[in-house]
Amino acid sequence: MKKHWWKALAVLIVIYAIIAGLLIPLKPGILQIKQSGINSGQVITTEVNTYNTSYKVGDKVDAYLKINDKVKLYSTSSQILDKAKLKLSFDVPALLPQVKSFDYTLVMVDAKHGPFLRPSAVTLKQERVDIEKALSSWPKQNEVALKFVDGTKFPFRAVLYESIRNTFYHVPMWFAMVFILLAAMIYSIKYLRKPKSSYDIAARSLTAIGVLLGVLGCLTGSVWAKGTWGTWWTFQEIKLNVSAIALLIYFAYFILRSAIQDDEQKARVASVYNIFAFVAMVPLLFVVPRMVASSLHPGNGGNPGFGGEDLDNTLRMVFYPAIIGWTLFSFWLAQLLYRYELLREKVEEEFD
Amino acid sequence: MKKYTFILILILINSVLSAQEEAKISLHSSGKIYLVVGVLITIFIGIVAFLIYLERKLNSLEEQINNDE
């Protein structure tokens, strides 16, 4: 039992990732603004649909359009319709400190939910541009304090919504794949240094599980893409292309193995190829996507993933353990395969 | 035996797919949670596929041992 503690750990962490990943609620958010294009000089009342809110009739909700860092346009009144629907009124001045047409962020704040926003939510249009006059005649309003509420909640992102939770299931497949294939490469090097067949079996088993993880990464990504990007697969997206190439390289590993008759030669050539495959995969997965200007994956044209708004601390709390959990779990699968292959080799030697 | 297993798998896949269709309709308003269900099911099917693969290999190994004895 002592040898197997890491498997129990893997199961516990994966269970944690599934439970915490599914049960922690999303922050409130703004789903839809009925009238999103507004002309200057109008008094308008528009319906706003929100997500994960629990408004009660009579609650006071403040809302404003963020014109720039200093200038805000506050709503003149709000009326709650139900727990996720309210009406906001805006008295838009005739002159706006902007170009003819611009999209503004809508910020809403109340005591129960704290502040939340939707970028590019409302388009304000004006006929004539006079920024100085607009600023001097801007209505004076009292600032509303943005009081945050406590509690762990995942970020609300338009388009993603609840599927942001797939960060804990889709992404760790790729992380686990990289760790597994790294281990496979290490065993391949070990085999070349000392040709013990158990090293070759370990490299082969690890590579098989690595390929399984890669395929699962593609399939789960495909499911996620269908619901958010609207397509199962697109060749416009760099990460999809490079991961497909990386997987093909690893498919070739098994084709190569089956093409060579002599066992020792097979193991040696496969080890060399495995090292090549890993070395080829690293730039494909970690360098090429960073060189491309735009990508649908987070962190386009820069450092993906770990920075900024794409991964906040509440997500990290589940995401990092999920990587460790799925990786350990994958090593368990690889170990089962390894033990089987070892056993088969023994049986074949004995009966031959 | 193989034929029945195949039919059973087809029925299973079909029921999963139709369940997803239903989930799509009823869960859509609650913010695309069906995508998370789909991803988790995909991973589970992947693990099951590995189990089937390993079991078949074990079957042939067992056969080999039993025959040689």
Interface residue of B21, B24, B27, B39 to substitute, partner A, most A CBs within 10 Å: B39
In a domain, A141, yes or no: no
CATH number where A90 lies: 2.60.40.10
In a domain, A58, yes or no: yes
Residues A104 and A193 in one domain: no
Q: CB contact, 8 Å: B16 with chain A?
A: no
Of A163, A165, A216, the CB nearest to B43: A216
In a domain, A256, yes or no: yes
Q: In this structure, what token pair is assigned to residue A205?
A: 């088993």
In a domain, A152, yes or no: no
Residues A130 and A276 in one domain: no
In a domain, A17, yes or no: no
In a domain, A146, yes or no: no
Residues A309 and A168 in one domain: yes
Q: CB contact, 8 Å: B28 with chain A?
A: no
**Is B42 close to A336, i.e. CB distance below 8 A?**
no
φ/ψ (deg, to 5) at A36: -100, -10
> For the purposes of burial, counting CB atoms within 10 Å of the CB of A48, is it exposed (0-12), middle (13-18) or buried (19 or more)?
buried
List CB contacts of B32: < 8 A, sequence separation 6 or more: A160, A161, A162, A163, A227, A228
Of A160, A223, A343, the CB nearest to B39: A223
Domain ranges of chain B: 2-68
Q: How many domains does chain A have?
A: 2
Closest CA to A55 of A29, A34, A73, A82: A82
Residues A167 and A305 in one domain: yes
Residues A235 and A327 in one domain: yes
Residues A178 and A308 in one domain: yes
What ipTM describes this predicted complex? 0.85
Interface residue of B21, B32, B45, B64 to substitute, partner A, most A CBs within 10 Å: B32
φ/ψ (deg, to 5) at A65: -95, 130
**Local structure of A329: helix, strand or coil:** helix
pLDDT tens for chain A, 352 residues: list them: 678 899 999 999 999 999 999 999 888 999 888 888 888 888 889 999 999 888 888 888 889 888 887 888 888 888 899 888 999 998 888 888 888 888 888 999 988 888 888 888 888 888 888 888 888 888 877 778 788 888 888 888 888 889 999 999 999 999 999 999 999 999 999 999 999 999 999 999 999 999 999 999 999 999 999 988 889 998 888 889 999 999 999 999 999 999 999 989 999 999 999 999 999 999 998 888 888 777 778 765 555 555 555 678 888 899 999 999 999 999 999 999 999 999 999 988 887 6
Range of the domain at A46: 29-136
| A149 neighbors A114 (Cβ within 8 angstroms) | yes
**A–B: how many Cβ contacts below 8 A?**
74
In a domain, A16, yes or no: no
| A140 neighbors A36 (Cβ within 8 angstroms) | no
Q: CB contact, 8 Å: B20 with chain A?
A: no
> For the purposes of burial, counting CB atoms within 10 Å of the CB of A125, is it exposed (0-12), middle (13-18) or buried (19 or more)?
middle
**Is B61 close to A22, i.e. CB distance below 8 A?**
no
Residues A203 and A292 in one domain: yes
In a domain, A144, yes or no: no
- Positive/negative CA dihedral, B45, B47, B52, B56: positive
Place of tokens 């386009």: A300
**Is B36 close to A215, i.e. CB distance below 8 A?**
no
Of B39, B57, B61, the CB nearest to A166: B39
Closest CA to A178 of A225, A232, A217: A217
Residues A215 and A251 in one domain: yes
